[in-house]
Amino acid sequence: MFAKLAVAGLAAASIISAAPLVQKRQSESKPDIDVIILNYALTLEHLENAFYRDTLA
């Protein structure tokens, strides 16, 4: 009886301690949408700058 309780306690402790690692790994695989949007806006700014530079030259 004591052995089953000890094994169950160790299993629960392992699951609880591994939970933050699983959540961190999932958040790392998700793309950061803010950075994607800002890079897109910067690309548009570069295109606009090139358009006006070439048009007015």
pLDDT tens-place string over residues 4-19: 555 566 566 666 666 5
Q: Three-class SS of residue 15?
A: helix
Which domain does 36 fall in, by range? 2-56
**What pLDDT does 31 receive?**
75
**Could you give the CA distance from residue 7 to residue 5 in angstroms, rounded to a whole number?**
5
**What pLDDT does 22 receive?**
54
Task: Please indicate, yes or no, whether the overall pTM of this predicted structure exceeds 0.75.
Answer: no
**What pLDDT does 41 receive?**
97
